[in-house]
Amino acid sequence: MLGKTIEERGLVEQWLEVEAHNYYPPIYNLVMHVLVHPYKGEPFDPKVIQESEEKLGKVLDIYEERLSKTKYLAGDFFSLADLSHLPFTHYLMNHMKKGYMVRERKHVSAWWDDISNRPSWKKVLQLYKDPNF
């Protein structure tokens, strides 16, 4: 999950940082404002949704460039960098009607199909079934 060499480990760590500082903030805001706040009857801010979509789109464009050269984010091996994207991207793809953000990017779409169809992720989804999310 962390690579076999120091170079691979460095790439995994780099992409984990990209996820933490660039991918996670806008996708978290989308999940909160599109799913959680309405579910709880709390107000949501359409401006935050729009800004978060724009920011996430820019990050996905960078991912598209990277994934045009490698199968996974850190290289040609599945790693923690890919795994960390599964939960919130699952909501984006399956519950928020924003899957087009991934699908309109050929390489990101193929990457998502690959990582989200792993047997271990499918098992997680079977174990955690919340009808609201």
pLDDT 10s digits, 32-76: 999 999 989 998 899 999 999 999 999 999 999 999 999 999 999
> In the beta sheet, which residues pair with residue 75?
72
* pLDDT of 130 strictly over 80: no
Q: What distance lies between CA 53 and its chain's CA centroid? A: 13
- Helix, strand and coil in the chain, % to nearest 5: 70, 0, 30
Domain boundaries, the chain: 6-127
Whether this prediction's pTM lies above 0.85 is answered by yes
CATH topology for the 6-127 domain = Glutathione S-transferase Yfyf (Class Pi); Chain A, domain 2 (1.20.1050)
